[in-house]
Amino acid sequence: MTDLIEAAAALIRESRMTVCLSGAGISVPSGIPDFRSPGSGLWEKVDVLEVATIDGFTRDPSKFFKFMAPVAESLAAAKPNPAHIALADMEKRGLLRSVITQNIDTLHQQAGSATVYELHGNTRSGRCMNCLAVYSAQDMPDRAPDEVPYCRCGGVIKPDVVLFGESLPFEALARAQRDAAACDVMLVAGSSLTVAPASMLPQIAFQNGAQIIIVNLMETYMDHRAAVVLRQSVDTALPAIAAKL
């Protein structure tokens, strides 16, 4: 394992431009459950079509908010872990250009990362599905976490998270694709690479000549093309890599 850590560090050290793609696995050590792990993933407990699609939300938003209530508690209590901190440190040292994240928890920013592209949105804000009024998290109407928030106009306020069936934020996706195409090294941290279009970013990087480093406990479709694959928890592997730089 030490040899793989050193190999990953060497690739980053020699890289002109390194970017990171992070997934749910990077936030699990912070106490945020992931959605897809067999036996423990949150999707195994619910009907995804009812709670996590834009059609389901439009039909009955209460199911989404009831499902998200315990997740929201985890998000509120979570703090950046050593993996987030290692990436922020790498950016400060000029060794990491950007973090492209599939997460909505803002832990990268809390750790100090400045350039973060949130492909699946975030929980910092929401907007009315009727009049499109924008609400910050602080301005949301007082309610129990599992209750539907309503706008002054009577419309449902939807958090600015991307549900299945919705398009990804154009600017974040465009910048992520740009960095993926331009980088020399892409570090995949805690992503199963199963949700498109985020899952295709390592493929874009690889096709443009980048070396791929994957840190993930489970296999991904890119493992056979990666220069380094670390089957190790991100909160152990990333600080170890950063320490070698």
Q: Report pLDDT for 47.
A: 58
Which one-letter DSSP state was computed for residue 234? H
Q: Report pLDDT for 71.
A: 79
Q: Report pLDDT for 123.
A: 86
Entry pTM: 0.90
Class of domain 1-32+80-120+167-245 as given by CATH: alpha beta
pLDDT in 10s for each residue of the chain, 245 residues = 779 999 999 999 999 999 999 999 999 999 887 655 544 445 455 555 567 889 999 999 999 998 888 777 888 888 999 999 999 999 999 999 999 999 999 999 999 999 999 999 998 899 999 999 999 988 888 888 889 999 999 999 999 999 989 999 999 999 999 999 999 999 999 999 998 899 999 999 999 999 999 999 999 999 999 999 999 999 999 999 999 99
Q: Report pLDDT for 241.
A: 97
C-alpha Rg value of the chain to the nearest Å: 18
CATH topology of domain 33-77+121-161: SIR2/SIRT2 'Small Domain' (3.30.1600)
Q: How many CA atoms lie within 13 A of 161 on its CB side?
A: 20
**Structure-token pair, residue 11:** 């690739």
- The catalytically annotated residue of 84, 108, 120, 224 is 120
For residue 78, what are the CA distances in angstroms to 21, 97, 105, 112, 145? 20, 25, 8, 15, 16
SS3 132: coil
| DSSP code string of 73-118 | HHHHH----HHHHHHHHHHHTTS--EEEE--SS-HHHHHT-S-EEE
* CA gap 80, 31 in Å, rounded: 10
Angle at 221 (CA atoms; ends 218, 213), nearest 5 degrees: 75
120 carries an active-site annotation: yes
Burial letters 107-143, b for 16+ CB under 10 A, else e: bbbebebeebbbbbbbbebbbbeeeeeebeeeeeeee
Q: Report pLDDT for 67.
A: 84
Which one-letter DSSP state was computed for residue 225? G
Q: Which helix (H) or strand (E) holds 6?
A: helix 2-14
Q: Where are the domains of the chain?
A: 1-32+80-120+167-245, 33-77+121-161
